[in-house]
Amino acid sequence: MFKKIISIFIMALFVFGSFTNLKAQEAAEYAMWESFYITPDNTKLKALGDAMAKHNAKYHKEGPHRAVVYNVVTGPNMGKIVWQMGPLNYSHLDSRPSAGGHDEDWRDNVMSNVKKLSNGEYWKQDNDPSNTAMLEGEDIKYPILHIRYFEVNEGHGYQIDHLMDQIGKAVKDIDGENPWGVYDNQFRQGDIGRHMATVRFHKNWASYDTKRKFKDSFLKVNGEDSWNAFDKGMGTAFSNSWDEIWEYNATLSGK
């Protein structure tokens, strides 16, 4: 009898352990990116480009620590560049490159050509509404990112999941490939805002000349009487929003 109880106890531990591991795996199955703005010293652009390209090619070539660089081409941050690492999860940050000359190279060769770093942020993708499966892989298939930042109106965050779900359904219904993602800023921003963002991915600027029938798809998948409530919900959920466009810089990315 005692042996039977012990066997049952061991089996329970095994099952519970398997369940715990499964939940841990599920929790780790998310995509997140670290990013920050770099204000370059405009008198040292060539030196910055050379140093950053070498740094990224050596220390951030692939995997979760892979770095990609974008030029900001619209909005108040125009002229800055964005350094982005990922996709990753929090556990990857514990093994990020630091030894083997990494930190010294960044300090001495990259930062010596930089005026300022700002907006160090971690952005996690909301998988349910997002339509990003076509982006998977190491190649940059859509080099132009149209980012719309949102400031959430206090007390109205409960509406966001429903609103983004409605948009996601409409985007997925539109003919062709229409990569679009929803991203949550993981840490509080205070007066800066930037609580969340959506990203439309473009293969080229010419794609802006193609009119997408978003509203038609929205009404089709969400109901013919859904638009007014959606429009009102967006107006109350968010106190501010603004756009920024980034262009992929292959050279600085170490490619």
**Which CATH number belongs to the domain containing residue 98 in this structure?**
3.30.70.100
Q: How many domains does the chain have?
A: 1
Is residue 11 one of the residues assigned to a domain?
A: no
Cα angle 77, 184, 25; round to 5: 135
Note the pTM of the prediction, 2 decimals: 0.88
Is residue 219 one of the residues assigned to a domain?
A: yes
The whole-number pLDDT of residue 24 equals: 41
User: Which domain range does residue 187 map to?
Assistant: 31-248
The whole-number pLDDT of residue 133 equals: 95
Is residue 15 one of the residues assigned to a domain?
A: no
Question: What span, in angstroms and rounded, lies between the C-alpha atoms of 38 and 48?
Answer: 11
Is residue 23 one of the residues assigned to a domain?
A: no
Residue 62 phi, psi (nearest 5): -155, 175
Give 10-residue mean pLDDT values along the chain (255 residues): 43 41 53 98 97 97 96 96 98 95 97 97 98 91 97 95 98 96 94 94 96 95 98 97 97 89
Question: What span, in angstroms and rounded, lies between the C-alpha atoms of 242 and 20?
Answer: 41
Is residue 227 one of the residues assigned to a domain?
A: yes
Is residue 253 one of the residues assigned to a domain?
A: no
Is residue 20 one of the residues assigned to a domain?
A: no
Pairing of strands 180-185, 114-125: antiparallel
The whole-number pLDDT of residue 28 equals: 52
